[in-house]
Amino acid sequence: MDIRALGYIAIGAVDVGAWSSFGGQVLGMMTDTTESGVLLLRADERPYRLRIRPAAEDRLDAAGWEVAGSAALEQAAQELEKAGVGVHRDPARARERRVTDLVAFDAPDGTRHELFWGAELDHVPFISPVGTSGFVTGPLGLGHVVLATDALDEARRFYVDVMGFRLSDTMTLGGTRVVFLHCNGRHHSLALGEGRGPALSHFMVEVNSVDDVGYALDRAVDHGVRIRQSLGRHTNDGMLSFYAATPSGFSVEYGWGGRVIDDATWVPTETSRGSYWGHRRPPRPAETARQGS
């Protein structure tokens, strides 16, 4: 299977209004709302990169993965069926996602994925409502998603052997294993961590400059957004980033300076530290109170 990039993330959210101000005023993306109340967050010249639908509970609806064209999509569907994974073809869903064609399936870990090709470009210039200079997308795709799974080894086999992701590196932090996978030059577009799954742990978006990260951190603080991890620099992908809580509970990593790797020279390693510096977890309010008393 020849997946080229993470194309989009579709989310079901209880509070789409909160997402609208979070997406626009904190993340710095352009916001648009459809007639059916779906929030579209734009980061480049595609109509959206994050699609947020009103829902009764907060959830990852799907990660959308881009393939090179119709033949690649057909081949991917056949490979999924050969692996015993049922695929759903849904022209209405493709129109809704503003792509030419897509197939949806549930991975063995329970995560819903969509494979698509032919994304619509509407060429509206990206002008951030808060002055973010721009997001790093293009051939590197939107960013990355990190999924929690109860069965890491089984999930890893599926994403590598069936979906064709390539191993970037592995990490064990506090006894929890994480596997980092790539499908283009971005160090990882997908990571799998041991935990109660299926669940989206966080997604990452990358901006053009270190100042874009700093301004976003200020905006998050000013808007009362909970910072889950302070500014820091990751070891494996070199990303300088912070983590904030989204209105749906999972985190967003907001970063700059991610490593671009070349399969011709890259070798996977075992990373023993997640960050060179930073990425500290602020104490929870209750802990703060206890410490203060």
Binding residues for Fe ion, per CB under 5 A?
Answer: 204, 253
Instruction: Kindly state the smallest distance separating residue 163's Cβ from Fe ion, in Å.
Output: 19
Closer CB to Fe ion, 20 or 248, in the complex:
248
d(CA 137, CA 7): 9
Q: How far is the CB of 251 from Fe ion (least distance, A)?
A: 9
Interior angle at CA 112, CA 111 and CA 118, nearest 5: 135
Could you give the CA distance from residue 181 to residue 198 in angstroms, rounded to a whole number? 17
* 93 membership: H or E segment, kind and range: helix 91-97
Q: Is the dihedral of CA 10, 213, 137, 109 positive or negative?
A: negative
Q: How far is the CB of 234 from Fe ion (least distance, A)?
A: 7
- The residue among 219 and 228 lying less far from Fe ion, judged by its C-beta, is 228
CA distance 93 to 86: 17
Compute how many other C-beta atoms are within 10 angstroms of the C-beta atom of residue 122. Answer: 10
Cβ 146 to Fe ion shortest distance, Å: 5
* Cβ at position 275, least distance to Fe ion in Å: 11
Q: Nearest approach, Cβ of 241 to Fe ion (angstroms)? A: 7
Q: Report the alpha-carbon distance of residue 11 to residue 57 in Å, rounded.
A: 10
Nearer to Fe ion, 148 or 204 (CB): 204
Q: Is 106 left (phi over 0), alpha (psi -120 to 50) or beta?
A: beta
Give the 3-state DSSP-derived string for 9-64, with helices as H, strands as E and coil as C.
EEEEECCHHHHHHHHHHHCCCEEEECCCCCEEEECCCCCCCEEEEECCCCEEEEEE
To the nearest whole angstrom, how small is the minimum distance from the Cβ of residue 143 to Fe ion? 8
Gap between the Cα atoms of 46 and 73, Å rounded: 20
